[in-house]
Amino acid sequence: MTHTLRTLDPADEAAVHALWALCFDAPHLPALHALDPDRHRRTFVAVRGDTVDAVVCYVPRQLRDAHGRVERVGGIGNVATRPEARGQGLVRRLLALAAEAMTAESCAWSLLFTDTPGVYERSGWTGFRTSWTEGPLTVAGPPGPRFRIRAATPADAPRLAELHAGFNAARPLTAVRTANDWIHRVPAWYGPGAEWLIAEDNEGTAVGYTVTRHIGEAVEVRECAVAEAAPAALGELLAEVARRARAAGAAVGRAHLPEDPAVRAALPRFLAPDQVRERTQTVGMARPLLAPPEAIRATLQATGATHWHGDSF
């Protein structure tokens, strides 16, 4: 039977949710998808009879370019194909529809993250490298803490948002988060197992935070921010992350953090300096729409360029 390719009809939503449940261990996807009031025209499906065999959707996000300026970028996500319908070019054809729609919606370029780049390469997306640092956890840090470190609570959300905005005010590839992002998107992508720590100065003002997750015998720092006036707070946060991780049985740390003076100074409080290793991977992919390819490359290769996991699509 021939497939029909079209935008999402409200009556298709249950079938799309079932397809995501079949392909991903990500129960938060339907709720995040529902946040977009324009999700039906931004979601493309391949339908065979009453069955949704493939889906591709995009969401426009405000990302900073190489110069810190904000531009509209189409984030591709939630791409799924029913196992028995794979190999028929359905995703490739749906991506073509999505690229046309993103261009009409004035997206400068498109961004996605994947472990299976082949189909996207054939559709015009090009991979780029991202890196992280890993090694044994630092055993002990210098005494005499200057900041109070505690678990963040929901009441801290406004200050976390302020710290994030300040730390990333001109950082290439970072997303401009909305209040809705802080309520829904960011907590969903980091998940209920994430540990948020916040640092306060002597006046009780929040001056930094970290987001971590335990993955087997390792602890991963997935996000951080620190106030410009208190860069040393990041070192104390990372020292506390290492202490808690060792107490929980972890021996290895991974820092998914940007090239930044505050991060560079703080890392020895988290990872043993003489045993640090740099790792790279190519899971990010970009496709020009309205912007020239060289402008996109400049953003992706800019010093400090970071797309935080909590801003996933």
d(CA 34, CA 25): 18
Q: Specify whether the CB–CB gap between 99 and 110 falls below 8 A.
A: yes
List the beta bridge partners of residue 299: none
Among residues 167, 171, 131, 134, the alpha carbon closest in space to that of 304 is found at 171
Name, in order, each residue with C-beta under 8 angstroms of 267's C-beta and a sequence gap of 6 or more: 133, 238, 255, 257, 273, 276
Would you state the pLDDT for residue 140? 72
Would you state the pLDDT for residue 143? 60
**Residue 141: strand, helix, or coil:** coil
Would you state the pLDDT for residue 1? 67
d(CA 238, CA 235): 5
Q: Specify whether the CB–CB gap between 63 and 73 falls below 8 A.
A: yes
CA distances in angstroms from 32 to 24, 88, 97, 112, 304, listed in the order given: 14, 28, 22, 16, 28
Sign of CA dihedral 209, 193, 27, 156: negative
91-111 pLDDT per residue, tens: 999 999 999 999 999 999 999
Name, in order, each residue with C-beta under 8 angstroms of 16's C-beta and a sequence gap of 6 or more: 8, 43, 45, 52, 55
Name, in order, each residue with C-beta under 8 angstroms of 37's C-beta and a sequence gap of 6 or more: none
Look at the chain and count its residues: 313
Q: How far apart are the first and last CA of the chain?
A: 32
Q: CB 234: neighbour CB atoms within 10 A? A: 29
Pick out the chain residues at pLDDT < 70.
1, 141-144
Would you state the pLDDT for residue 142? 62
Helix, strand, coil percentages, rounded to 5, for the chain: 35, 30, 35
Q: Which two tokens stand for residue 220?
A: 């991963």
d(CA 115, CA 131): 15
Q: Which two tokens stand for residue 21?
A: 């449940």
Q: CB 300: neighbour CB atoms within 10 A? A: 20
